Amino acid sequence: MSDTYTPPQDPLEVLHDDHELLIVAKPAGLLSVPGKGAHLADCLLTRVQGVFPTALLVHRLDRDTSGVMVFALTPHAQRHLGLQFEKRQVKKTYVARVTGRLEPKTGEVDLPLIVDWPNRPKQKVCHDTGKSAQTAWRVLKANDTESRVRLMPKTGRSHQ
């Protein structure tokens, strides 16, 4: 992540909207919510609320992660969606490109993570004070230079 924030200017891509839910595509490089300082004010939440003033945050994606985000359009929907995330009833899947051929073709990462305070927002493995972070993975496609991998987090740690 670079120090200069230059978010993409892609138009808002609405995938679904009804009386309670809004589902939009978040481009990589755009904050989900405003950061500290005026230079970090441009974010998906602000852009969404410019078109859907009642939109409420349900979850976040890291700045450099592209993907689908769900917003609530009523406090009732926000409560219920928030509970689904809290109870881990929401299934999340990520697809990543990694350097090299990943072997074996499936596996799970199970390491305790904690905030790396001097290098925030990075995380680090700490077997003494870290909290469990589990992610299953499966290689979708690979060659000698890169692998495309599906990642399925089982826990919801920041920057997991």
Residues tagged active-site? 62
- As given in the structure block, the two tokens for residue 149 are 């991998």
Q: What is the 3-state secondary structure (H, E, C) of the chain?
A: CCCCCCCCCCCCEEEEECCCEEEEEECCCCECCCCCCHHHCCEHHHHHHHHCCCCEECCCCCCCCCEEEEEECCHHHHHHHHHHHHCCCCCCCEEEEEECCCCCCEEEEEEEEEECHHHCCCEEECCCCCEEEEEEEEEEEECCCEEEEEEEECCCCCCC
